[in-house]
Every structure is written in C-alpha cells, then in structure tokens.
Amino acid sequence: MQIHVVSEGESIYSIAGMYEVTPNRIVESNELETPSDLVIGQALVIPMDGQFYFVQPGDSLYEIAQLFNTTVDELIQVNQLQPGAILPVGFRLYIPQEPKSDMTANAYIEPTGGQVSENLRNSAERRAALLTYLAPFSYRVNEDGSLEAPPLDNFPAIAQNNNTGLMMVVTNLTDEGFSDELGRTILTDEQVQDTLLDNIIQTAREIGYQDIHFDFEYLPRELGEEYNQFLRKAKNRLSNEGLLISTALAPKTSAEQEGEWYEAHDYKTHGEIVDFVVLMTYEWGYSGGPPMAVSPINNVREVVEYALTEMPPEKILLGQNLYGYDWTLPFEPGGEFAQAISPQRAIQIARENNVSISYDEEAQAPFFNYTDSEGAEHEVWFEDARSIQEKFDLIKELDLKGISYWKLGLSFPQNWELLNNGFNIAKSE
C-alpha cells in the first residue's frame, strides 16, 4: 500500500499512471466523491502490492533498505539493479510488501438519542470484519448496581456474522457526564458491587459479550486503591465465568500525574489485574480547547513509553480517534466549542474553500485554515493516511497488542485500507 500526497497540477489519472494502477481503484479505496477535483496536500492510499520509493538527494541503498525494513540485496534483486550502481535522484524503486503483523482491533460505537442510526448500523456492518471487538457505548451503572443498557439494534448479529467479539463497556456516566459520586458509590459499597457484577454476568450471558470493559473516569485520587480492589474482585468473578476484563486508562506520563482525569488510574496495578487496557491517547486537541492535533504522535509516544514501564506491551491497545475538529477563531476559553468532523469531511471543507492541506511533521497530523462565507476564520486538525500510518508504525515498533478506535460512524476509508493491508486481525475463537 502506497501513500501519495497530492501536489499542484496532479490529477487522478497522472497519479494512477505513476503507480501503474487504474484510476478507479484509487477512487474506490479513498471513496472519492469528486475525483476530478483533488485537494493539494490531500493524502491518498494507492492500492498496490508493496510500494514505490523515489530516490531523494543523498540517499543510499543501505539507508533506503533500513527505512523499509528490508535488505540491500533484496532491493537489488527485485529492481534488477547492478551491485554498486549509483541511483539518480527521482529513480523509482519498488519496495516489496512487508509480512503482515498480528493485531487486536477494537472500536467503540455510540448510539445517541436512544436509537441506532442507519449510518451507525452501516458502519458496524462495513467494519466488523476488521475488528476483534465491537464495543457498544455504554452500559451505565445506577446507584443500586443495576444497569442501563445502550440500544443494541442488530450489533450482536453483526458481530456474530463477522466472527467479532462483543465488548461490554460499563461506565459511571450520568446525564451530566462522568460522575465522581457515582464512582464513589460503586467502588465503596460492597452490596452495590455484588449487584453490579451479578447484572454484568447475566447480561453477558444473554447478549454474548466476551470482554467486560470498565471505563470509570473522573475518580478522585483517594479512590485509586478502591478501584484496584474492585478490579481484583471483578476479575475473580468474571474469569470464573470465562469472561475477559479490560479497562480504559487516561493518558498518563508518570504515576504521579495530577488531575481529576488521571489520579485514580493506576497503570501498574491495572496491568497486573486485567487482561488488557485501552490507553485513551487522544483529545490533546479537544472541542473546548485551543486548536491543535487531536493525537499528536510525540504525546502519544510519551504515554505509551510510560505505560511500558508499568505493564507488558501485549496488554496495551493504543487509543485512536477517527475524527478531527473544526475550530472557529479566535479561540477563547469558555467560548464556542469546536465542531467534530470526519476526516472525509475535513477534506471536503478544504476543497469547498479552495485551500490546501498542510502537515505538521512534529505532531504528524494534517491541518489547514479557511475563511467561511460569513468571514469567520477557522482552523481544522484531523487524521489522514500519513497520521494513522505513524500510529500503526508505533504499534509495530513497540509490539503493542493493537488499537482501539473512538469511534465508528465517521468516514475515514484510508484507515481501514491501511489496517487491512498491514495486519492480520485477531478474531474470536
């Protein structure tokens, strides 16, 4: 699979000719609505076996081989080169396809308004084949330990038809958001815990859940050990029922990190107790904050490298956003929230406003600015093929268990093409 960034003057036909594929294949892989009107800076995935590399000034075959995890001998053989040949700048080298890596992939899916939209249903049907788990969000815990279920529609049938496991997401959410008081009740009242675990087991049996995923957020520091004890209790009961257990963890970079989102999440103990964790490595750029990349690779790496000091890599799913944000400028704290948009919509906005897409090399994320019809300035940060490939490369480099997407329903076809191209997705046994 090749990633190509559109330059000025290029067309779908010239790009197809460059890589010896048909224009229609590029259109289908990228779900291009206006293939005759590409955006400068837009990243396209090119469906092909392996990829091409165009020699840059100062390149050597050894450096190119290192870059693509291959050998000089293999590059010489597949490209029919003479040993010791000096390659001119711009020379096209064919790079063979790397063997696929194993990957566990989860995706949350969040019905809103008490029902499942046709878009969500279609998204689940289209993507379940590339998922290990499908995770309806969420079962809300009530103060007495009973559960308020999300609308499930035909998600269980979709999961079964694709040999995809179901993840039961259990939260301390209320209509006002994550509740520290509800969290306190759950983690300190033994009777509530027993009722909750009874209800979880009954629901898991009825629906067919394989993993029970606790996403308890905004817990005060003093509840950290109570959370650990609850997880030990839950692990004992759920394992006896043949169920896996996992947790969602805020993106920490040290055990002492302060803040209401972080303090009760004990990476080391969660890593010892549960079967795996999801690191919520996104929302550096968030709807109520200043414009920036949602999941900048430097910040993501810092969180993962800390996590690896507390737990083994085979227990870590890297959290990944499937969305971006459109901020209205100037940003004012407490002012207008940014609008969440899909990567496909971001490209449409750039095209509609005739602006090119830039790329931040430090954050490894695309962005652009535009002026709307009413004269307001905007700044947009989103994900594209380049940024998601950086996350995939990090997962491979650090040998992580896999990836967890927040959330289905937003169009990002390049992600799924690259995921399918680079990984063998683990499936239910």
Taking the C-alpha atoms of 209, 159, 415 and 324 in order, what is their torsion angle to the nearest 10 degrees? -60
Cα Rg of the chain, angstroms: 23
Is 206 a residue of the active site?
Answer: no
Query: Pick from 312, 400, 390, 397: which is nearest to 106 by CA?
Result: 400
DSSP H or E segment with residue 192: helix 190-207
Inter-residue contact 370 to 378 (CB < 8 Å): yes
Q: What is the DSSP annotation of 302-333?
A: HHHHHHTTTS-GGGEEEEEES-EEEEESSP-T
How many other β-carbons are positioned within 10 Å of the β-carbon of residue 285? 25
Quote the longest CA-to-CA distance of the chain: 76
Q: Which residues contact residue 400 at a Cβ distance below 8 angstroms, ignoring those fewer than 6 apart?
A: 304, 313, 314, 316, 317, 318, 394
Q: Which residues contact residue 237 at a Cβ distance below 8 angstroms, ignoring those fewer than 6 apart?
A: 197, 201
33-36: long-range contacts (C-beta < 8 A, 24 or more apart)?
A: 33/348, 34/351, 36/11, 36/12
One-letter amino acid of 141? V
One-letter amino acid of 364? Q
Inter-residue contact 53 to 68 (CB < 8 Å): yes
How many other β-carbons are positioned within 10 Å of the β-carbon of residue 340? 16
Which residue among 110, 143, 217, 379 is the active-site one?
217
User: What residues are labeled active site?
Assistant: 217
